[in-house]
Structures are given as C-alpha cells and as structure tokens.
Amino acid sequence: MTRNYGALETKRFLVTPETKDFPRNNYGMATARGNNGSGQRPNNTTQNRICQFKLVLLGESAVGKSSLVLRFVKGQFHEYQESTIGAAFLTQTLCIDDTTVKFEIWDTAGQERYHSLAPMYYRGAQAAIVVYDIQNQDSFERAKNWVKELQRQATPNIVIALAGNKADLSQSRVVEHDEAKQYAEENGLLFLETSAKTAMNVNDIFLAIAKKLPKVEGNNGNVHGRRLNENEPNRQMNNCCK
C-alpha cells in the first residue's frame, strides 16, 4: 500500500535542523514506495526490505506526546497544541541500511487522562515512547509507572524509549538529566531529552528505536489477521513483508 504524504510536507521535514546532521548515506527519511518521487532521497533508489512496527506513546497529559509525533511525522510544531483531537494514527518511515522501517504511531487520544486506555492500545505494540516533561517531577514519576504498566501488559520484548521532553525549557528544569538517564539504564530503556519545539533529538529517538527493533521476518511471533478494506478484501497484513 502506498503512502501519500504531501510532497510539501515531506520537503519541509527534510529541511528541519536535525535532519541535516544525519550522515545521509546511512539513514534518512524516506517516502514509501510508490510516491511520485518528489520527496525521495537520492540514495534511496534500491527497493529493500520493509518492516512495519506499531509504536505507542505514553505519558501524562500535556507532556508533549502529540507534539513529538507531529514534529517527527510532519515537521510541524504548534505552541498551543490542543489536547489530542483528530490525529491519533500516523505513519512515518525511516531507512536504516537496507531496511525501511515503517512506524505505525498510536497516540493516546486523551484516553490516559482518567486511566481509561483500552488494552487494545498496548496490544501488539513493538515499541513505545514514554514521555515526561523535564519541568515536572510528577510527570517523571508517572512515566515510571507507564514503564511498569508496559512491562506488565505489552509484548515481552517491546523496545521502550524514555523521552524527557520540553528540553528547550531547561531554565525551569526539575528532573535532572543524570537521574533520568540512570533510571533508563537500570531498566533497559533508551533515553534522550527531546524538544518537539526545536526538533532536538526528535528524529534521533525514533531512529534509535528503529535500530534496536529486530528486523527479521515475522519478528516476535505476533500472529496477524486481516484488515478489512473496501477495495482489497484479500489483502493480508504481515508484520514484516518483503
């Protein structure tokens, strides 16, 4: 199935500051197969393996979960982003060596607010980003609870990244970088401080996850059914398809 990002948005994404810093011959944002090519990277000409992963976002309300995704997927940031409405399912692809990693990103849609996230949310998730606000100690404690919740509910070998967001506001920081880093190390989590506003480390955290995910066919033994589709009734969903 082809992705159809607007060429404009893809381009905008390509010129975000941190993208420039990537060694382009190794990774880069790629539009998926079948695009008209306007956003295609010159080095991404060969067709390679595509692996698809479900990634969920967790964290207290207003720590910037949706902003991180919007920055990653669309290269946008809104200072006064409303509570999540209307965009809780986004996809973005990354290229690592000969593999295209497609993230299917699930946002909480605000259902975390009154502890009403459905079990469906965690189901089959292969990666998670647990977000806290570096200005808010409570949000960090909540993040630790989310990590526990994931270890209890999610697939056993889920890749978890901890993101200390709003890192651009370090003058009002209360959660120390080293404290969070130590916690992450003790619990086997990836860790980066991020800023959806300046785009700092946003792509990097997704890249780090993509690199850590096992990219083999049928990874972690998930069993898949079929997705219903108006036009392609017989399309089978596979976890990792050639």
Partner 1 sequence: MDSEYDAIVLGTGLKECILSGMLSVSGKKVLHIDRNKYYGGESASLTPIKDLFQHFNSEDPGEKFGRGKDWNVDLIPKFLMANGQLVKLLIHTGVTRYVEFKSIEGSYVYKGGKISKVPVDQKEALASDLMGMFEKRRFRNFLIYVQDIREDDIKTWKDFDPTKQNAQALYDKFGLDKNTQDFTGHALALHRDDEYLAEPAIVTIRRIKLYSDSLARYGKSPYLYPMYGLCELPQGFARLSAIYGGTYMLDKQVDEIVYDGNGKVVGVRSGEELAKCKQVFCDPTYVNEKVRIKGKVVRCICILDHPIPNTKDALSTQIIIPQKQVGRRSDIYVSVVSSTHQVAAKGFFIAMVSTTVESDNPENEIKPGLDLLGPIAQKFVSVSDYYEPTDKGLESQVFISESYDATTHFETTCLDVLDIFKRATGEEFDFSKIKHEIGDEEQ
Residues 6 or more apart whose Cβ sits within 8 Å of residue 175: 132, 134, 135, 136, 137, 140, 164
Pick the binder of partner 1 from 10, 31, 67, 84 (CB under 8 A).
84
Site for partner 1 in 133-192 (CB under 8 A): none
Provide the minimum distance between the beta carbon of 167 and partner 1 in the complex, in angstroms, as a whole number.
27
Q: Which is nearer to partner 1, 186 or 230 (CB)?
A: 230
Joined tokens for residue 78: 């809104």
Q: How many C-beta atoms lie closer than 10 Å to residue 69's C-beta?
A: 26
- Please select the residue that binds partner 1; options are 24, 148, 224, 235, rule is CB under 8 A: 224
Selected from 15, 221, 233, 242, the binder of partner 1 by CB under 8 A is 233
Residue type (1 letter), 206: F
- Dihedral sign from CA coordinates of 106, 112, 118, 123: positive
Q: Does the protein bind partner 1 through residue 220 (CB under 8 A)?
A: no
- Kindly tell me which residue out of 90, 187, 219, 238 binds partner 1, with binding defined by CB under 8 A: 90
Q: Pick from 11, 24, 227, 235: which binds partner 1 (CB under 8 A)?
A: 227
DSSP state of 230: S
Q: If you search the block for the tokens 């979960």, which residue do you land on? A: 65
Looking at 18-26, 85-93, 138-146, 179-187, which segment touches partner 1 (CB under 8 A)? 85-93
Residues 6+ apart with CB under 8 A from 111: 117, 118, 121
Choosing from 23, 42, 178, 228, the residue that interacts with partner 1 (CB under 8 A) is 228
Q: What is the dihedral sign for C-alpha 72, 76, 82, 88? A: negative
- Residue 114 found at the interface with partner 1 (CB under 8 A): yes
Binding stretches for partner 1 (CB under 8 A):
1-4, 84-91, 109-111, 113-116, 118-121, 123, 223-230, 233-234, 237
